Structure 1
């Protein structure tokens, strides 16, 4: 099982990821953000930040 190396687009930490498919999400162990795989091509992975929707609890 091979891994793919890429950088977190937010904190630029090097990530070593297992084989992924487009649309999967991963968490950066450094900045703890959730990232979505947007593009895979010839061992290259592009990631984008997943925007968290916060609920307004009326407080």
Structure 2
């Protein structure tokens, strides 16, 4: 606080609610993991239904 005059005022310092940030730190990574895994499974299953030679010789028109 020696160089920050604003920090001397107790009302100027913002605090975070520990309960809210704890939930978000768990929910967001879990949701991203589930979304990534689900998308990966869907795309792999779709590719496995095609013949491998068709995947290798696919032409872009």
Which TM-score applies when normalising by structure 1?
Answer: 0.21
Q: Which has the higher helix share?
A: 2
| Higher Cα Rg, which structure | 2
Higher RCO, Cα 8 Å, sep 6+: 1
